Amino acid sequence: MSVTRRQFFIRTAQTAAAGAVAGTIWYQLLSSSAQAAPSMLRPPGALDNQDFLARCIKCGNCVNDCPFDTLKLARMGKENTQGTPFFNARKIPCHMCEDIPCVKACPTGALDPELTDIKQAEMGVAVIDEETCLAFLGLRCEICYRVCPKIDKAIDLQYRSQERTGKHAFFEPVIHSEECTGCGMCEHACPTDEAAIRILPKELVKGMVGKHYRLGWKDKGRITRDFKPEASASKASTSSAKALNTLNNTGKLYD
């Protein structure tokens, strides 16, 4: 079919316009700074979400260097922030490589290069559903406890007697969030059909006490530092001696 000169230029312009629109949409999808799915788990050393998305160039180096195939790149239409690395702990957890190859592979610092001890990673925190956890139901299950890379630190077992029978006991797993790295070993190993223990980002789990509270056993600020029990005791002793001296001299405790 013959095409006139005018039709040729019209079709060329239409094709170029369609290509520009498609290219713009694709670029926006790849470079989007939209918030990731709330439950998305990032590799070890990942910065806070906003900083991570600003620095991650979606190169895939961390994914390629992961020896256990743990890390994946988010896909269009499946997960948010397409092209960024994440992992699904139920499928393949982080195996806590001592040399942390994913961090070393990151060229932009989206994965903090200062993370040199994998046991200091903060990928998330484990949360237990006590209504479906076998241990809380009275069955002897210690799988999450046994597979934890920081056993007796991130997870330990709490003994509780079985009041119904008087002969048995519960051995319930307890999570210590300050020690949990969020590796996902526990979630991956959980024997229930749907994991009774799951890894979630800390911002979804942890609360905040508030800066106006002072915890004396933790706070090293001015108020705690200036409180000196020895000095207070010395002042009390001096005050008592002065009162006794007044009583002996005047017969009255107070003037």
Segment 130-149 shows an average pLDDT of 94
3-state secondary structure of 150: coil
pLDDT value at position 173?
96
| Whether 124 contacts 41, CB under 8 Å | yes
Mean predicted lDDT score pLDDT of the chain: 82
pLDDT value at position 255?
46
Q: How far apart are CA 241 and CA 217, in angstroms?
A: 32
Residue 108 pLDDT greater than 80, yes or no: yes
Determine how many CB atoms are found less than 10 A away from the CB of residue 56. Answer: 22
Residue 5 pLDDT greater than 80, yes or no: no
Nearest to 39 by CA among 201, 234, 226, 147: 201
3-state secondary structure of 222: helix
Residue 220 pLDDT greater than 50, yes or no: yes
Q: How far apart are CA 171 and CA 132, in angstroms?
A: 14
Q: Given the DSSP bridges, would you call strands 85-86 and 72-73 parallel, antiparallel or unpaired?
A: antiparallel
Residue 37 pLDDT greater than 80, yes or no: no
| Whether 132 contacts 196, CB under 8 Å | yes
Domains of the chain from N-terminus onward: 21-118 (no CATH), 124-205 (3.30.70.20)
Q: How far apart are CA 245 and CA 157, in angstroms?
A: 59
Torsion angle (degrees, nearest 10) of CA 43, 47, 48, 50: -100
Using a cut of 0.75, tell me whether the model's pTM lies above it: no
3-state secondary structure of 169: strand
> Phi/psi at 61 (nearest 5 deg)?
-60, -40
DSSP labels, 52-72: HHHH-----HHHHH-TTS--E
pLDDT value at position 33?
44
Q: How far apart are CA 194 and CA 40, in angstroms?
A: 18
Residue 74 pLDDT greater than 70, yes or no: yes
Q: Which two tokens stand for residue 155?
A: 């997870």
